[in-house]
Amino acid sequence: MKRRDFLTIGVKSAMAAGLTAAVPVSLLRTHTAHAAILAAGLSDPAAQPLFTNPAPNAMSAAFKYVAKNSKLTIAMGQAIQMTGLVGADGYTPVPTTIWGYGTKELGVTWPGRTLEINTADDPLEVTWENKLVTTMGNNPLPHLLPVDTSLHWAYSLHGFEENSIAADGVPVVPHVHGGLNDSPYDGNPEYFFSPNFGVKGPRWVSKKFYYGGPDWNDVAGMVWYHDHALGITRLNVYAGLAGFLPVRDGADTGAADNPLGLPADPYELGFAIQDRMFRNTGELFYPAFPGDPLYDDFITDEGVELPEDIFPDGGPTALAEFFGDHIVVNGIIWPKYDVEQRQYRVRVVNGCDSRFMRIRLKVISGGAGNSAATDPSSGSSIPFYIVGSDQSLRSSAIQTEEVDFAPGERLDLVIDFKDVPAGSRVIVENLLGDSPFGGDLPKKGDLFPDRRTDRVMAFDVMLPFDGSRPNSNIYDGYLLGGGVGVGTAVRTRKLALFEGTDEFGRLQPLLGTAEPVYDVEGNGVEGAIAWHSPITENPGLGDTEIWEIYNATGDAHPVHVHLVHFEVIDRQAFKADSIEQPVLQHNGSYGIGFRLENIKTLGKPRSPDAQEETRRDMVTALPGEVTRIKMTFSKPGRYVWHCHIISHEDHEMMRPLHVGPGPF
């Protein structure tokens, strides 16, 4: 495994010096929790229907919000939704309480309805309302999931210590991910607000948010929106707070006569892929207490035990990572979608907490509508086209048989069902494991027993061809006019990803610098630092910078930078000495982090992958590699950059980013 190879070369000296208390050994995790899952009254993925329930198409006109006079009011609320899950008897459908986005007319849904913006539109004014309250009495709802209040989170901030979810309700703040947002409307984690704006975060600015217009994204791409409240994002998103926000332009219009000739509604599909655990009753489950199934797998690594006296009741505690054993697509478990023998544009969002996927398509002849045709390993692989990702199209379509898919990333694919025999089933297969991704295919110990997470959804080729609608003809090399080009950099920053431990001994992923710098308050800083420490990334307004991100951890981290789109330049192996040092925590105590010394790059740089040759806001930093990106900071003010493993960003793997002069 790459993780172990890297550790031997990368932090060799630190290991020799005995400084690697935090070295992860999660590869050694064994997933033997199957019996425990059943004993705990949780849903057994092996007993759930596969490819039976149709998924809604998030790109269909019926699934979209319709703004009036460029204004929308979108509520976050609680609802009951059927996911296709059946109870312990194996056939009775069970309901799930979810949180979603919605309007009075449409109700709230998971995922939220699709918000489409055209680059030619006037700015859209959205009033986000926190309606996580009881229908009777307007009282704050408790969280659907156990909340760890030991983290730096909304109500742990100075001046908010007296607030609680019980008294004040759940803090939220929507972030439009991939939008060139003005700072006040970016959904910064400290801009949160509670139901009916009873509590407003320390940096809260406005009830109204604006997206679009001439100084916003200027080309078509796939943006999405999700909650970003400080230290509670993983739980708010898990409960259902996420949705699509496609950006259109004059070429990628979404209409049947679009100049690019891309498949259009009803042949343009949108699917949000998420992994979850459920109780047999249908309710969402998140392991947070000792004894919970999978808790031991995801709370801590060997040798880093959670002291019981810190959490006398055993929790709840945040997890180092989370991997659900049920795959949910647009709120439906392992759905199917019926298709014609033609090309479809399929736009997917990886909305999982920690799960990287490697996607492949498997054809099972005669499998359409066949409840026994569920095993991707029995099918044969077919190619598909990558036409774009994140914030833009590619310059041309490229054919592939596999593509990696990181949490937070969006892929824009064209799947050609023309030559797939009628009556076939095409299964979307996932080749990666149920444990942290290190760059390679999983080993046996990285997999859930009897897992169903190797399959995502299926397309059944069984609809009659509708000759009245134009057929698309995307091919390898088909010109699309997208791509990315960022100007000349004025500065190169060396940054790094670290794996330390917090004040309780829990695994704590951290960002920091890979060089000595001064923060905006004039303090010398080097190595890992936590969220609350003064700004270290302060690019000038309009500046273009190269960021070199050295991953000194054992796992891949999907790095997201707000405000910008970036060019992925290259990746290169490196070695360095990893020196242990204390890390100041939000509550004044200390955890353990590292800094890097004697960094040496190794071998030749490696070019970006095909899905990375677009305007990106996500990049996977692999362990033992430096990943180089280039971007221009074109709006002033407060933003953030973070790992998009949501459990990581909630546990300090996030740093503020401030463009231009203060105040900070």
Report 25-84 residues binding Cu ion (CB under 5 A).
none
Position 557 contacts Cu ion (CB under 5 A): yes
Beta carbon of residue 438, minimum distance to Cu ion (angstroms, whole number): 12
d(CA 331, CA 407): 17
Residue 138 CB, shortest distance to Cu ion, in Å, is 38
Q: Which residue has the tokens 């479809």?
A: 344
- Stretch in the footprint of Cu ion (CB under 5 A) among 147-155, 204-212, 423-431, 507-515: 507-515
Question: Cα separation of 664 and 651, whole Å?
Answer: 22
Distance (Å, whole) CA 148 – CA 151: 6
239 near Cu ion (CB under 5 A): no
Site string for Cu ion, 588-627 (x = CB under 5 A): ----------------------------------------
Separation CA 566–CA 175 (nearest Å): 18
Number of residues that bind Cu ion (CB under 5 A): 6
630 binds Cu ion (CB under 5 A): no
Asked if 648 touches Cu ion (CB under 5 A), the answer is yes
The secondary structure element, H or E, covering residue 35 is: helix 34-39
The separation between the first and the last C-alpha atoms of the chain, rounded to the nearest angstrom, is: 42
Please identify, using beta-carbon distances, which residue of 353 and 416 lies nearer to Cu ion.
Answer: 353
Nearer to Cu ion, 386 or 643 (CB): 643
Which stretch, 178-186, 191-199, 529-537, 644-652, contacts Cu ion (CB under 5 A)? 644-652
> Closest distance between Cu ion and the C-beta of residue 653, in Å?
5
**HEC sequence for 621-636:** ECCCEEEEEEEECCCC
What binding mask, one character per residue, do residues 443-462 give for Cu ion by CB under 5 A, x or -?
--------------------
Which region, judged by CB under 5 A, interacts with Cu ion, from 232-240, 417-425, 454-462, 503-511?
503-511
Non-local CB neighbours of 235 within 8 Å, separated by 6+ positions: 143, 144, 145, 147, 286
Q: Which is nearer to Cu ion, 353 or 537 (CB)?
A: 353
| Closest CB 298 distance from Cu ion, rounded Å | 13
**Choice between 408 and 509, CB closer to Cu ion:** 509
Specify the residue, 108 or 640, whose C-beta has the smaller distance to Cu ion.
Answer: 640
* Beta carbons of 235 and 143 less than 8 angstroms apart: yes
Name the DSSP letter for residue 156.
G
- Cβ distance to Cu ion smaller for residue 386 or 559: 559
Binding segment (CB under 5 A) for Cu ion, from list 113-121, 474-482, 631-639, 649-657: 649-657
Give the list of residues 6+ apart from residue 283 with CB closer than 8 angstroms, or none.
Answer: 96, 97, 144
Look at the alpha carbons of 90, 94, 99, 101 in this order and tell me if their dihedral is positive or negative. Answer: positive
- The answer to whether residue 654 forms part of the interface with Cu ion (CB under 5 A) is no
**Contact residues for 626 (Cβ-Cβ < 8 A; gap 6+):** 548, 549, 550, 551, 571, 572, 573, 574, 601
* Closest CB to Cu ion among residues 299, 413: 299
Q: Judged by CB, which is closer to Cu ion: 117, or 643?
A: 643
Residue 406 sits in the site that holds Cu ion (CB under 5 A): no
Which residue, 147 or 618, has its beta carbon nearer to Cu ion?
A: 618
Phi and psi angles of residue 16, each rounded to the nearest 5 degrees, phi first: -60, -35
Which of 26/53 has CB closer to Cu ion? Answer: 26
- Give CA–CA dist 651/104, Å, rounded: 35
458/611 Cα distance (integer angstroms)? 22
The correct pick among 428, 643, 654, 657 for binding Cu ion (CB under 5 A) is: 643
Measured from the CB of residue 579, what is the shortest distance to Cu ion in angstroms?
21
645 binds Cu ion (CB under 5 A): yes
Spatial distance between the Cα atoms of 10 and 124, rounded to a whole number of angstroms = 48
Assess whether the previous peptide bond of 558 is cis (omega < 30° from 0): no
Q: Under the rule (CB under 5 A), what is the footprint of Cu ion?
A: 509, 557, 643, 645, 648, 653
